[in-house]
Structure 1
Amino acid sequence: MICLQQLANAQANYTKITNYKVYYGWAKHSPQDWMIIRQFENDGKSYFLLVNPQTLETKIDEPGFYQVKPMSMDEARIFFKRTPYIKALQKAEKQSVNIQDAGIESGMPKQTGISLTADLCPSHKPLDKRIFTDIITEFKRVEHPVPVALSITGIWMRQHPQDLDWLKKMQQDHEIYVTWINHSFNHRVSAKLPLKQNFLLEAGTNISYEVLQTEIAMLKNGLLPSVFFRFPGLVSDQKLVFEITDFGLIPIGTDAWLAKGQQPQAGSIVLIHGNGNEPVGVNDFIKLLRSKTQSIAKKQWLLYDLRESVDEEFQGE
Structure 2
Amino acid sequence: MNRSVIIGILLLGLCVDGFGQLMSYRVLFGLTTQQPRQIVLRQWQQQAQTRYLVVNPQTLETAITALPPNGVKILSWSSLMQQLGQTPYGRAMRFEQQRDQNLQDAGIERTDKTERGFSLTIDLCPSTKPLTRSVFEQLIKAFEPEEKPIPVTITVTGLWMEKHPQDLAYLKNLVSLAELDITWVNHTYHHRYDPRLPLPVNFLLEPATNLNDEVLLNEQAMLKNGLKPSIFFRFPGLVSDKSVFDRVLAFGLLPIGSDAWLAKNEQPKQGSLVLIHANGNEPLGITDFINLIRQKSPYIRNKTWLLYDLPGSVAKEK
Identify whether the pair has TM-score above 0.5, normalized to the shorter chain: yes
Aligned length: 304
Q: TM-score, normalised by structure 2?
A: 0.93
Q: Distance in 2 between matches of 1:56 and 1:293?
A: 30
Asked if the contact 1:29–1:66 (Cα under 8 Å) also holds between the matched residues in 2, the reply is: no
Matching residue of 1:187: 191
For the aligned residues, what is the CA RMSD? 1.5
* Aligned equivalent of 1:29: 34
* Distance of 2:44 and 2:151 partners within structure 1: 28
Q: Contact conserved, 1:15 with 1:219, CA < 8 A, in 2?
A: no
Deviations, residues 34-69 of structure 1 (Å, cap 9, x unaligned)? 000000010221011000010000001111297421
Residue 21 (structure 2) pairs with residue 16 (structure 1): yes
Q: Tell me: CA distance 1:257–1:13, structure 2 relative to 1, closer, same or farther (3 Å).
A: farther
Structure 1 letter corresponding to 2:62: T
Deviation at residue 73 of structure 1 after TM alignment: 1.1
Please state if 1:238 is matched with 2:242. Answer: yes
Structure 1 residue aligned with 2:212: 208
CA contact (8 A) 1:257 1:271 kept: yes
Tell me which of 40, 43, 47 is aligned to 2:47: 43
TM-superposed deviation, 1:29: 2.0
- Partner of residue 157 from structure 2, selected from 153, 157, 162: 153
- Deviation above 3 Å: which 4+ runs of structure 1? 10-13
CA distance in 2, matches of 1:71, 1:59: 19
In structure 1, how many angstroms separate the alpha carbons of the residues matched to 2:239 and 2:91?
Answer: 22
Counterpart for residue 108 of structure 1: 112
Contact 2:105 2:238 in 1 (8 A): yes
Instruction: Provide, for residues 267-313 of structure 1, a one-character-per-residue CA deviation record: whole Å limited to 9, x for no partner.
Output: 00000001010000011001110111110110100000111111111
In terms of mean alpha carbon deviation, does 118-127 or 68-77 score higher?
68-77
Query: Paired residue for 1:131?
Result: 135
Bigger shift: 301-310 or 105-114?
A: 105-114
For 1:178 and 1:304, locate their aligned partners in 2 and report how far apart those are by CA, in whole Å.
11
Deviation at 1:71, TM superposition (A): 0.5
User: Post-superposition shift, 1:89?
Assistant: 1.6
Question: How many Å apart are 1:15 and its aligned residue?
Answer: 2.6
Residue 297 to residue 13, structure 1, CA distance change in 2 (3 Å): farther
Q: Which runs of 5+ in 2 are unaligned?
A: 1-14
Tell me the alpha carbon deviations over residues 241-265 of structure 1, each in whole angstroms, 9 at most, x when there is no partner.
1100000000000000000000000
Task: Describe the SS at the equivalent of 2:20.
Answer: coil
Aligned-residue sequence identity (percent) comes to: 47
Report the Cα distance in structure 2 between the residues aligned to 1:241 and 1:208, rounded to whole angstroms: 13
Q: 1:65 to 1:139 in 2, by over 3 A?
A: farther
Tell me how far apart the structure 1 counterparts of residues 54 and 306 of structure 2 sit (CA, whole Å). Answer: 28
CA shift at 1:12, angstroms? 9.8
Q: Is the Cα contact below 8 Å between 1:185 and 1:209 reproduced in 2?
A: yes
1:254 is matched with 258
Pairs within 5 Å for 1:77-88: 77-88=81-92
**What is the aligned partner in structure 2 of residue 57 from structure 1?**
61
Determine whether 1:294 maps to 2:298. yes
Give the aligned partner of residue 9 of structure 2.
none
Partner of 2:5: none
Using the alignment, how far apart are the partners of 1:284 and 1:65 within structure 2? 51
3-state SS of paired residue (1:37): strand
User: Could you say which residue in structure 2 is the equivalent of 1:223?
Assistant: 227
